Structures are given as C-alpha cells and as structure tokens.
Amino acid sequence: MYLSSIIMPFLSFVNFVVCQLFALVTAFWFRLYLHPSKTSPFIRHVVATLLGFYLALFCFGWYALHFLVQSGLAYGVMIFTGVEHMHKYCFVVTLGYLSFCQVTRAYVFDYGMYSADFTGPMMVITQKITSLAFEIHDGLMKREEHLKPSQKYLAVRKMPSLLEYLSYNCNFMGILAGPTCSYNDYIAFIEGRWYEPKHLESNGKENGKFKQSDPSPKVKVCTCALALMVYLVIYTICPTDRVIDDTFMASNPFYIQVLYLYISMLALRPKYYFVWTLADAINNAAGFGFNGYNADGTPKWDRISNLRILNIEFATSFKMFLDNWNIQTALWLKRVCYERCPYNPTAATFLLSAIWHGVYPGYYLTFITGIVVTMAARAVRHNVRQHFLGSATLKLIYDVITWFSTQMAICYTVVPFVLLAVGPSLKFYSSWYCCIHLICLLLVLVLPVKSRRTKQQEQPSSIHASEQNCLSSPDNNCSQKQKAT
C-alpha cells in the first residue's frame, strides 16, 4: 500500500508530462499545417476538439467522460433557460458537479493522492464555462453603458454553437492544464483574427515597423526543464511535511525552522512553474497568446500566461504575489465574483477560490488565513508606505522589509494547502503559536483602511480615466496601471 502511494502519483505525473510533450509537438503541426490561411475554422475546431478528447482519454481513461458530462449539462442550461438567469444556473450546476467529483475522488477513491487527477482539467473547464455564461449574459442582456470596459471587451453577442463550445472547453492546447482564456480571444485565434487588433499602435495607426513573427517557445521550454530539475532535486531533500515532524521541531531552533520552511516552499513552487509554463508554451506553439509588441519591437506572447516568476519571487506585497501567481484563475475570480459580489467581495472571492480548489480542509484554512493576511497587508500599505517614499534609501529599506514579510506570510499561509488535512495544519500553526494570525488581526484592528467603495466615490474621475485606457487590453494593462497608482 505504501509503495503504491509513491508509485501511482509518479506514474500519473509521467503520464501527464508525456501527454503535454505530445501536445507541444502537435501544436507546431497545428499552426503550420492547419493555419487559418490554409483551412476553415470548422476544421480547426474539429481537429482541436478531437485531439483534446484523445489526450484526455489517454491520460485519464473513462474518467474523461466527466468532462463531457459537465460541459453537456452546462450547455443544456445555456440553451433551455432564459438568458436573464442563465449565468447563475450555469455557475451553480458547473461548480456543483465539480465539487461532486472532487468529493468522490478525495473521500471515496484516494484521499491525499495529490497528483494529476481527472478533477484538475475539470477545474479549468469550470472556469471556462462560468466565464462564458457571464460573458453571454453581459452581451445579450445588459446595455452597453452598464458594462465596464473589460466586460465590453469580453461580452459574447451570440450563443456559441455546440462545436465552438466544445472546442473552447476541450481543445488539446488547454485540456490538461489550461490556462483559461476568454471565449472571444479563443474564437479570434481559431478564425485567424488574433493578430489584427495587436498590429495597431496606441494612436490607432497600423504599425509598420514590426513584422509579425512566429512564436518560439524555446525560452519557456528551457524554463520548464530548469523548474522541473529544481523541484525534483531540492524539494525531495526539503519536503514541506517535515515542518511538523516532532524530531525536526525539537532538534532545531525556531529561526532554522523558518529558514527551512522558506527553502521548502521555494523548492515547491517550481512544480507549478513547470506545469503552467509548459501549458503556455503549448498555446504559443499553436499560435495562441500573442499580445502585441514591447517597446523594442520584440513580440509579446504572454496574453494567456499564468505566472510571472520574477515578480512572484521578489514580491513586496501579498497582493503583488497573488497578482502574478495563477494569473488566469485570478482574472476568473475577479470577473465572476469580485467585480459582481455586492457584499464583502474579498471574503467571497477567497471562499469561491477554496470551493473551486477542492474539498480538502487544508484549502479552507489557507484561504481563511489569506483573507486576514490580505486585509493586514492592505492596512499596512495604506498607512505606512507613504512614510518611506522620501528617499531611495528609505524606499529600499521598505522594499526589503516587505519582501521578507511577504515571503514569510506566503509560506505560513500555504502550509495547510500542502498538508491538506486539519490535524497536521493545526499542528504547524500551533508550533508557530499562530503568530502571523495574531499579528495580522492586530494590524487590521489598529490601522484604519478605507473601503473600496469609499475610494471609488472619492476618485471617480481617475477611475474612469484608468478604465478608458484599458479598452484595448482590459486585464493585463489595467492591473499594471492600477498598481502604479
């Protein structure tokens, strides 16, 4: 039993890697031989969908039928219910079916087998279905003036056909690991309209200086290889579950335990870097993900990227870390929950994130802790940061302190996410005397911070101007500008 618990996750991971490498090679073929200039959107949809089903069956066997059941139920809701409430019904049905599958997998089949399982792709499909449902609702029910600029860009003006819908949900480029993308962006890619809006300069004139270049995901593939090597070598030596080992805690002073926790989490993150960067490379190899040009004329292929590694490792705030980690999931949470929830959107967003991730108690401990840490980080930034902007030296001191604090807060918060169970998670927190919980609660109670609605009422003109500047690329550009302010 113990041996199988080690071998099965390893075999699942190898199976996943083989399928993704096959998808990478296939993506080059798809771009070269099924280019929009050579074939019709219908053929591209059919091939992308069939290849996606093939990979799903190869990787998960008949469990892949859950992908079709979930997609079929949601499409039935879209077709047979009114547009006015369709997005709500789709949200409940899709998330409910995902939760049902997560419960059966976790508590009926193999509790704790945190490997490449069939509910992983369902999490991405859930994002796509619910995003599409809200986008259809925005496009068919709401007036133009009632939509935010990003919602205008994403709004879907007609119901997708069954083939378009299945292609969007189950294409071979994103069936195993995503990332999530908007329906409009995906259809533009399939139909060959992907480059058109990206060839315009900010003044609206066609950019003749830069030639359209084919994607070269070599850098991302090399990043994948390096990340996998770091994870396999260092994390094997420094597993996270050692932080609750009685012998380890008794034989090492507290500062050594802190240092070990940081190294362990630093070595764990490359596992996700590998998965998400490889998924991004697959989409780029197929010609999907072009996002315009840098100032020096080099093309950007980060439209659907899921992470920015350097921004994660050198993040100086909890928000900066989250904004650069699992980016497409953060955008999904923002679009379907944070921007639409009328009451306490921060708590609602963390709760939705916990439910979406699964049913292990450790997830909920992580996201409950995340709410407190986020509120404390916001209070510190609003009350303290301005006192360190007088000189470069003070700013450097502030950045170093906030970097260290952010890394410690992330490590402390994420431990239950890795340990999964309640007992080990509470044992870890008690070994740290719940110190970060107490510090964050104290900061929230002592330091005042204005609510989001109050700030919006005080700065309506600046917010309106910021939204107008985000029309061409509503998510990526807007987030950067808002950080600057």
From 300, 299, 283, 302, select the one nearest 189 (Cα to Cα): 283
Residue 337 CA to chain centroid, in angstroms? Answer: 14
Check: CB of residue 8 under 8 Å from CB of residue 48. Answer: no
Check: CB of residue 347 under 8 Å from CB of residue 317. Answer: no
Alpha carbon distance 407, 405 (integer Å): 6
Separation in Å, CA 126 to CA 38, 134, 475: 32, 12, 20
Phi-psi domain of 344 (left: phi exceeds 0; alpha: psi -120 through 50; beta: other): left
Alpha carbon distance 170, 23 (integer Å): 13
What are phi and psi for residue 45, nearest 5 degrees? -65, -45
Up-side HSE of residue 156: CA atoms within 13 Å toward CB? 25
253-261 contact pairs (CB < 8 A, 24+): 257/431, 258/408, 261/411, 261/412, 261/415
Alpha carbon distance 313, 36 (integer Å): 39
- SS3 of residue 200 by DSSP: strand
7-13 contact pairs (CB < 8 A, 24+): 8/110, 8/113, 8/115, 9/113, 9/114, 9/115, 12/115, 12/116, 12/117, 13/115, 13/116
Catalytic residues: 326, 357
Virtual CA dihedral for 29, 32, 34, 37, nearest 10 degrees? 170
Alpha carbon distance 321, 337 (integer Å): 20
- SS3 of residue 421 by DSSP: coil
Alpha carbon distance 325, 308 (integer Å): 7
- 40 Cβ contact partners less than 8 Å away, ≥ 6 residues apart: none
Check: CB of residue 277 under 8 Å from CB of residue 220. Answer: yes
Question: At 373, which amino acid appears?
Answer: V
From 119, 118, 115, 121, select the one nearest 4 (Cα to Cα): 115
From 346, 344, 351, 333, select the one nearest 377 (Cα to Cα): 346
